[in-house]
Structures are given as structure tokens and as C-alpha cells.
Structure 1
Amino acid sequence: MTEQSVDVVIIGAGPAGLQAALHAVRKKVAVLVIGRAEQSAIARAHVENYLCVDGVHEGQQLLDIGLAQVRRFGAQVLAEDVLHIEQDGEEFVVALESGATARCQSLIFATGTSRKKLKVPGEKELLGKGVSYCVDCDANFFRGAKVAVVGNESAAVDGALTLTKYASEVHLVAEKLTVTPALGEKLAASPVRVHEGSWVTEIVGDHAVQGLVLDNGATLTVEGVFIELGAKGAVQLATNLGIMLDSESFSHIQTDKKQATNLVGVYAAGDIAGPPWQMAKAVGEGCVAGWEAANYVNQRRRAGKGQE
């Protein structure tokens, strides 16, 4: 497993993350952006209400320009998913799906907040009654139980592996697994029961989850189902670090005017920092977060801390 050290890690390659990278790297700090631009909400949108953008532009086109910019200025971009983040003293260690890790002094969350839904019968009705979107949050409630994870990517596999420490039986339902060889090897060596080539058509139960119906006609008897579609959500990653969420909806990270969280050296920008869900707002907050994260790193340098 390889580890690289940088000054600032930015999680998210959408407008907020890329703008944060631009402003941070211009202040002479080493920046690593981790994320897949095509997963940004703006990638599937058409933009016409952004200053200096004349006419209608495809969001992915603007993201491609942004990616080229941050690379040209010297930031590194990794198209990977983040599995875990741990605090190590005054630094942070970010674990990637490839098995590599990145150590940094400052961290910026710049991802969206939405978690994809299965949109099947029983999902909405049994939410909180066995249906969950957060393995790290709810795994402890399923000690000794039979559970299933639904998803095709790294978050689903990592969630299934985590649940083996709690549940008596873990199923992974996937249409087609798309994970790195390293994560695939861990899955193969685990007791997780993989149902690849299948998908969930219904979550059944009267007052709590009792099972799943698959599209091949099979049924799984489980007491819990974790829906992990796409990358691990930033809210989930943040709360594991002890970062405070907004007190009303608990759906986004709480920040001050400098985009700083309650954890020193950690910032948030864009949709993850709350509404309105607009590109202009995301870019503005990304600018502030990148600027402040770089200032934090440079202040540590002057104080004789951090990387030389």
C-alpha cells in the first residue's frame, strides 16, 4: 500500500472542488483532488445562468475545462473514491479504493449530498426500520443479524466488508461490480455472499425489513439492507471524523464564513455546505475554502509545523 503526502486534499471534483484547487495551488501548496468529475451533479446539467458563460453549455464541458486548468496550475487529480478518513494528530489520512492513502495537513469536503435511491417498493416505507444509507452510522444496530448491501461500486464493497465485523451473514447484491483489483481481492477473501448479475426489485416487511426480492425471482431473508449506490457520501465521511452537521436537517456540513468546520484544518464548500444548490455559490465557496486551507498550511509552515 502506497502513501503520498500533500498539503491539501480536496474530496470532490465538481465546481467547488476544482475552484478550491485553483485558489489553493496558486498559494504554493501541494494539492490533491480526489473524485470523479462525471459524478458531479453539474455534469448532467446545462448551464446558462453563470456569469461570463454565454449561451447554454453542457456541464461536463465546463468540468473538463476546469480539470485542465487545475492540472495546468500544478494540482494532482485522482479519479478515485474515498473509503475512509482518519485523523492522525494534526494530520489526516485519506484511504482510497485502490488501497493507496494520502496524508494531508488540510482537508476540503467539496462533494454533493444526495444519496441515490433504489426506487423500489418498501424502500421509503422501511427507511429507519432496516433500510439504511450509511453502513458506518448504523452497522452497530445489526450485530448478529442477517443483512444485505446493494450497490456496484467501492462504497458497496467496503460497506459489505465492514458489516462482516457485526452481522452474522452479509449479502452483496450487484448488477456488475466495478471496483479496483485490491478491493476485489479483499471481497473474494471475505465471507460476504456475492449475488452479482442480480438486482433488488422490492424490500419486504410489515413493520421492519424482513427480506429482499431479486429480479431473478430469488429472495433473501435479511433484517437490514444498506443501499450504497456510488461513492461514499461526504456526510458519512465527515461525521466519522466528528465534524458537525447543520442542526435542523443534519444533511450538510456546518461551516463559518471562512468555510471552516468545527475541526481545525477541515473546510467544506458547495452542496455539502448547504443550499442554495447553485454552481455560482459552489464556486464562490470553493474559492474561500481553497484560500483558507492554503493559508492554514502556510501558517503552519511559518510556525515550523507540517511539510517542508
Structure 2
Amino acid sequence: MFQSDPYDVIILGAGPGGLQAAIHAARKKAKTLMLGRMDNSSLYWAHVENYCCQFKISGEDILNTGREQAISFGAEFRDEDVLSINPDGKLFKLDLESGESVLAKTVILATGSSRNKLKVPGEKELLGKGVSYCVDCDAGFYRDEVVAVAGCRSAAAGGAVSLTNFASEVHLYCEELDIADGLSEQLKTSGVNVHEGVTIESIEGTDAVEAVKLSDGTTQSVSGVFIELGAKGVLELTASLGVQLDESMKYIETDKKQRTNVEGIYAAGDICGPPLQMAKAVGEGCVAGIEAAGFAKKLEL
């Protein structure tokens, strides 16, 4: 399904930076869509006591209030993740886990910075030697190999489907899949071996990944392990856009207007680097929302 009428602003990430961007973009009468799940935000599980004008308050309460504010100004919300972003003329085409695609005049990246770890033996030791956190970056190294993917949400399921274009076998391990119906159908027809209720307990190998030991007591021989816990990260989402990252390849570089080096792409919050604080994320979200809305209004298609 394809929605041809473009949004002025699409925001990726439902944390404080993204919410503040949605509030300001919507108040500027920009057609605004926010994509993401609030419980993917690290703030959702936190308690805050260092934010101006607030004593101790739960992150969940902050995010729920911000969502209500943005909706009151006209922003739309969808609790699903983005699988890919690609240029489409002067616009950007975003493919969603539901199977739908949407167009945007501008995109604000506010997905946070952390890469969730599996926290099992061998993960740290074999990073870069078969352990990867980026399917889009490293899939090509595993042509005709057997690989494992760990995760239950869209990044894991979408990554596993993508890997079938390279690997001879793809095994997806998770407690319980939590993905949209459209992506679920893709997964079923992709040839991915899905092992629900089975998780990776350790990654084996000396100089390279050789196998994974599983919670059901079995061992699967693999050459690569892709850890995809949550939504798509900065590396995957920016791979096709040419967005400039810093030297660590963790954070997006922006100017004082939160613009990236790609016209129409903005970024805010932890994805732009430390300090990883809500106050900084909110300030950058404010700037990004205002600037993106202004750019979208002036864009001639």
C-alpha cells in the first residue's frame, strides 16, 4: 500500500526529541507524522529529577503527555517502525513494517543512539569477527553462509528477510515476535527459519563466529550473528541517504539548525551525540521541528 500525498514532516522516534519536534512542526501547521514506539525510548523506563521545572517524574508520564500535546496540535502517530528510507525525487520514501510506504518532504531522525546488547558470552569478544549490529552494513559479507539473527521486533524480522538475499540459511531466534501483520507475512514467505521461544545463550568461536548455543540446549553452526533488538538504528536508516556521521560512526553530524548534510534530513536528541540528556533532546527537537516545517512549506515539487 502506498500513500501518495506527502507529509510535510515525518519524525522517526517517539522519545523526547521526536515529541518536541512533532509539537513544534504541528503548531506550524505542517502535516506531521511520528513513527515509532514510546517504549523503545530509554526515557520510557526512567525517572527524571534533573529537568528544569520538574521534580521527580516518570519518563512514561512525560512521553504520554508529550504525545497528547502533539496530537492536540494535529500531529499523527503510528506505533510502528521504519524499515528503510530512500530518496524519491525531492521527497523521501519510507517503507514501514506494516507494508505501507509513505512520502515526506522532510525527515527528522530522533531514534536515539544506543545499540541494545544481547549480553551473552562471546558477543563482545567476537564483535567485528562475525557479530554485527547492522544487517544493511554487513549482509554482503555472508553470501552463501549460515547466519543467525537475534530479536523480536521489526529490525530483527526485516533484517532476517533482507539476509535471505545473501545467506544460504537464516535463523531468527526470539522469545515472541512483536511485529506488524505486513512484516509477519513477508517473514512467513521469505524462507527464514523462525525459532520462537528459543534464544541465543552464547556465541562460540575463537578468531571468528562458529556457532551459537541456544536456550533449548542445542547448538547451531553459523558464520555470523546479527543482533537487532528494537527498531532500525542510525547506521541502517542512513545507509542509503549519505547522511554524515561522526568519526565514531555512532552519531549524526548536524549544524545549529539541526540540519544534516542531506537537504531535507534533520536530526535531534541522543542520535546527535552527548550529553545524552532529555533537556538537550528537547531543545534540539524544538529547533528541528521548526526548521523542518519551514523548509517543507517552501519546497516546490
Letter in 2 for 1:191: G
What is the match of residue 119 of structure 1? 119
State whether residues 9 and 33 of structure 2, in contact with CA within 8 Å, keep that contact through their aligned partners in structure 1.
yes
Q: Structure 2: how far apart are the matches of 1:51 and 1:173?
A: 42
Match of 1:69 in 2: 69
Q: Is the 8 A contact 2:45 2:59 kept in 1?
A: yes
Q: Is the 8 A contact 2:80 2:180 kept in 1?
A: no
Query: Which structure 2 residues correspond to residues 32-51 of structure 1 after superposition, within 5 A?
Result: 32-51=33-52
Give the letter for the 1:284 counterpart: G
CA distance in 1, matches of 2:209, 2:56: 46
Q: Which residue of 2 aligns with 1:296?
A: 295
Give a deviation string over 1:206-248, Cα, whole Å, max 9, x none. Answer: 100000000111111100010111111133202331111012x
Query: Could you say what secondary structure the match of 1:212 adopts?
Result: strand
- For residues 227 and 28 of structure 1, the distance between their equivalents in structure 2, rounded to whole angstroms, comes to 39
AA of the residue aligned to 1:278: Q
Q: Distance between the aligned counterparts of 1:29 and 1:191, measured in 2? A: 42
Is contact 1:235-1:253 (8 Å) kept? no
Give the alignment of 1:1-308 within 5 angstroms.
1-3=1-3, 5-53=6-54, 55-247=55-247, 249-300=248-299, 305-306=300-301
How big is the shift at 1:195? Answer: 1.4
Query: How far off is 1:168 after superposition?
Result: 1.1
Partners of 1:240 and 1:9 in 2: CA distance: 17
Q: Point out where structure 1 has 5 or more consecutive residues left out of the alignment.
A: none
For 2:246 and 2:40, the matched residues in 1 are separated by: 24
Identity level (%): 55
Aligned pairs, number: 300
Q: Which amino acid aligns with 1:6?
A: Y
Distance of 1:266 and 1:255 partners within structure 2? 10
- 1:19 and 1:102 mapped to 2: Cα distance? 22
Supply the AA of the counterpart residue of 1:299.
Answer: K
Q: Which amino acid is the alignment partner of residue 205 of structure 1? A: G
Alignment-mate amino acid for residue 28 of structure 2: K
8 Å CA contact 1:235–1:272 kept in 2: the answer is no
- Off by >6 Å, runs of 4+ in structure 1: none
SS in 2 for 1:7: strand
Offset of 1:186 from its aligned partner? Answer: 1.3
Alpha-carbon contact 1:8-1:104 (below 8 Å) kept: yes
**Aligned-pair distance for 1:264?**
0.2
Q: CA deviation at 1:118?
A: 0.8
| C-alpha deviation, 1:197, in angstroms | 1.2
Tell me the CA shift for residue 13 of structure 1. Answer: 1.0
8 Å CA contact 1:136–1:240 kept in 2: the answer is no
- State the distance in 2 between where 1:298 and 1:152 align: 38
| Structure-1-length-normalised TM-score | 0.95
Residue 296 of structure 1, CA deviation: 0.6
* Structure 1 residue 184 displacement after superposition: 1.4
- Alpha-carbon displacement from aligned partner over 1:91-137 (angstroms, at most 9, x marks no partner): 00111111111101100001111111111110000000000000000
RMSD: 1.0
TM-score (norm 2): 0.97
